[in-house]
Amino acid sequence: MLKILKYSFFDLIRSRWSYVYLAFYLLLGFVLLFLNNDLSKAVITLMNVIIILVPLIGTIFGVMYYYSSKEFTELLLAQPIKRSSIFIGQYLGVALSLVMSLVIGLGLPFILYGLFESAAIWDFSLLLVTGAMLTLIFTALAFNIALYNENKIKGFSYAILLWLFLAVIYDGLFLLSLILFEEYPLDKFTLIATVFNPIDLSRILILLKLDISALLGYTGAIFNQFFGTSLGLISALGMLTLWVILPVWNIKSKAQKKDF
């Protein structure tokens, strides 16, 4: 598996898109710091960008890589290599190269700005961890979609729809249902609904750490009230980990049954 990971990883970091992604984060980091002049404020702005953008990039890169490396995959399938090694190796290759772009692209400007002497270092680290988690989750979801859809166009559409749903539509529906059922106790519903959306989970995770109750919103407040700050952090992180494990596990089992 490590060999496949290595080849996928190097194949990707040689591609132009990885550099575009990296350059984008570098630019974003510098511009934010220049405009905000304050590390903590920059972290909050960054959170809003990361939470929407990282899933989008993860999904698109995931499906794109799967479809474009189809030939490579077919070649590998005839070799004495386990199927799970092939697909998990490729998945990790994509996800880790994206994580690397994220960490370097945002880390560099913040370090240059004096991150290590600042109190914001833990907030920033958590932001990067969340970004990494979101990359792992959405790349895995994208691989799942691609494995189930031979048709590229269909696969792409489902991937974009998934992102759109979780990043935008989900919150709208959620809000709508809160308004519609405001006479009922909604704590449990809110809690469960949050757990089913990794983007919401990530937002709450970061806001809990930043301890800005004004930004927490209804869901965050309930989360905070239910779990408390530290337990809330841990359980949110645990849920995110589960969001990584389940799709990856499904990649493995689906790959085992598929015909090539």
Residues contributing to the site for other proteins (CB under 8 A): 3-4, 7, 11, 14-15, 69-72, 74-83, 256-260
Burial class (CB in 10 A: 0-12, 13-18, 19+), 172: exposed
The nearer residue to other proteins, 188 or 258, going by C-beta atoms, is 258
Nearer to other proteins, 79 or 179 (CB): 79
Residue 11 beta carbon to other proteins: minimum distance, rounded to whole angstroms: 7
Shortest separation between residue 84's beta carbon and other proteins, angstroms: 8
Number of neighbours of residue 133 by Cβ within 10 angstroms: 21
| Rounded Cα–Cα distance for residues 163 and 174 (Å) | 16
- Sign of the C-alpha dihedral, residues 106, 122, 236, 211? negative
Q: How far is the CB of 7 from other proteins (least distance, A)?
A: 6
What span, in angstroms and rounded, lies between the C-alpha atoms of 154 and 160? 10
Residue 52, classified by CB atoms within 10 Å of its CB into exposed (0-12), middle (13-18) or buried (19+), is middle
Minimum CB–partner distance for residue 8 and other proteins (Å):
10
Q: What is the sign of the dihedral through the CA atoms of 166, 169, 172 and 174?
A: negative
Contact 42/36 with Cβ under 8 angstroms? yes
- Rounded to the nearest whole angstrom, what is the least distance from the CB of residue 161 to other proteins in the complex? 25
